[in-house]
Amino acid sequence: MSIETLTFRQANEEDLDAIVYMLSDDKIGSKRERYEHPLPGAYVSAFHAIDADPNIELIVACDGDTVVGVQQVTFTPHITYQGGWRATIEGVRTTSTERGKGLGSQLIRYAIQRAKERGCHIVQLTTDKQRPDALRFYERLGFTASHEGLKLHL
């Protein structure tokens, strides 16, 4: 893979297998994802909901015809910041064979570019506290740990 030949595009349903595989291909993801054939219908339903929403982009990075990375960017209007929009980056993954080659940085830069194009005033993301390398990665890209994030699993 060469960073110069990467392309980015909106994911399509045919990309779901590669996306779910990447999401499940690590220590944390393997405990919460179900990569099996056929894929559970919940993934297809989620894809259709994402695809139908003009404020969500499920973006894949491709090396030729091969999907090698994925991220979801959600654009949300807020009353705060004088009615400003923000972009939230989630589900950033690359294929395990391509990690450490700059692909993740390119994905995040692409998301930031999309946020600027959409007029967002801020880009935000979270990373699991069990991923200290990811936190350092995002900090190298200019993100700061400015807030404490909380979640309630239902």
CA distance linking residue 92 with residue 26, whole number of Å: 12
118 falls within a domain:
yes
For 106-149, the pLDDT digits (tens) are: 999 999 999 999 999 999 999 888 888 889 999 999 999 888 88
Domain count, the chain: 1
* CATH number of 88's domain: 3.40.630.30
69 falls within a domain:
yes
82 falls within a domain:
yes
Which amino acid is it at 44? Answer: V
109 falls within a domain:
yes
Model pTM score: 0.91
For 102-112, the pLDDT digits (tens) are: 899 999 999 99
90 falls within a domain:
yes
Provide the percentage of residues in the chain whose pLDDT is more than 70. Answer: 97
39 falls within a domain:
no
Q: Which domain holds residue 98?
A: 3-12+54-140
